[in-house]
């Protein structure tokens, strides 16, 4: 998958509600994106060589199932983990996101996937 040059990405924070909304258009079907978000393939997306390298992902993609990612960030090892809270393939995926072993409540991440029509570009 790739992000086309005419793609749009947006992000906004609501500090009062302690939430962030981000949107990105990807030239791939919702089915394709959902499959990548719920498989080892996600390690291909979570990489910025030498800065942030995710080397391993595993997940039990079902309600209450757990996921885990391992890698290095800025030269230090990291572990991220969470639980699948809602699965409506390929439209919606809700999961918790937490740094392994860190105190505090996990973050809840919601992916809403929808098909959009891309304008054809003449070459």
For the chain, what are the domain ranges? 9-112
Taking the domain 9-112, which CATH number applies? 3.30.530.20
Instruction: List strand residue ranges (DSSP E) for 25-113, in order.
Output: 47-48, 52-59, 66-73, 76-88, 92-99, 107-112
Residues 112 and 109: their CA atoms lie apart, in Å, by 10
Query: pLDDT tens, 11-64?
Result: 898 989 888 888 988 888 999 999 999 999 988 877 888 888 999 999 999 999
pLDDT for position 19: 87
SS3 content of the chain, % helix, strand, coil (to 5): 10, 45, 45
Q: Virtual CA dihedral for 42, 61, 66, 36, nearest 10 degrees?
A: 10
Task: Quote the Cα angle for 47-52-56, to 5°.
Answer: 65
Most confidently predicted of 3-7, 82-86, 113-117: 82-86
Which CA distances in Å does 76 have to 54, 58, 111?
12, 20, 28
Q: Is the pLDDT of residue 79 over 90?
A: yes
């Amino acid at each position: 998958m790739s992000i086309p040059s005419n793609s749009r990405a947006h992000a906004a924070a609501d500090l009062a509600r302690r939430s962030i909304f981000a949107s990105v258009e990807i030239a791939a079907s919702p089915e394709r994106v959902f499959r990548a978000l719920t498989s080892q393939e996600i390690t291909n997306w979570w990489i910025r060589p030498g800065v942030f390298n995710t080397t391993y992902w595993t997940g039990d993609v079902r309600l209450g199932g757990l996921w885990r990612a391992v890698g290095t960030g800025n030269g230090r090892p990291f572990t991220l983990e969470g639980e699948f809270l809602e699965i409506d393939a390929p439209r919606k995926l809700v999961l918790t996101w937490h740094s392994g072993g860190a105190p505090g409540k996990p973050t809840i991440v919601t992916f809403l996937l929808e098909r959009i029509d891309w304008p054809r570009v003449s070459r």
